[in-house]
């Protein structure tokens, strides 16, 4: 068995579609949680490689600015050392950084 946290608030993407846009405060609170998750991953030498609103679950049905977020979908993640360059283009095209898109 695998026991996991119940995230019944949908995805961050669902909230964006419903609200049509986020206020500056909503965006800042959401991005702070996401950057903390990414920071933790990088400290443990993990690169997610597919961060997008659909891969961020909202823990509860509270408004986004009051809810806890969880980064999910580690199917494309990999172990990487500090300074290592990843050459493979993976992830969702619409959310790729220019640096990844411009790789030869």
Residues with a catalytic annotation lie at: 50
Percent of residues in the chain assigned helix, strand, coil, to nearest 5: 40, 10, 50
CA distance 73 to 50: 8
**73 assigned ligand-binding residue:** yes
For the chain, give me the number of helices (H) and strands (E)?
3, 4
Which residue positions form the known binding site for ATP? 73
User: Which residues are documented as binding site?
Assistant: 73
């Amino acid at each position: 068995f695998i026991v996991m946290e119940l995230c019944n608030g949908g995805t961050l993407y669902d909230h964006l579609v419903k609200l049509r846009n986020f206020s500056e405060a909503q965006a800042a609170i959401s991005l702070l949680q996401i950057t903390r998750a990414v920071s933790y991953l990088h400290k443990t030498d993990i690169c997610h490689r597919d961060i997008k609103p659909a891969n961020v679950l909202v823990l509860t049905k509270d408004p986004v600015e009051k809810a806890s977020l969880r980064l999910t979908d580690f199917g494309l993640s990999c172990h990487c050392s500090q300074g290592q360059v990843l050459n493979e283009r993976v992830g969702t095209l619409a959310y790729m950084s220019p640096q990844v898109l411009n790789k030869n």
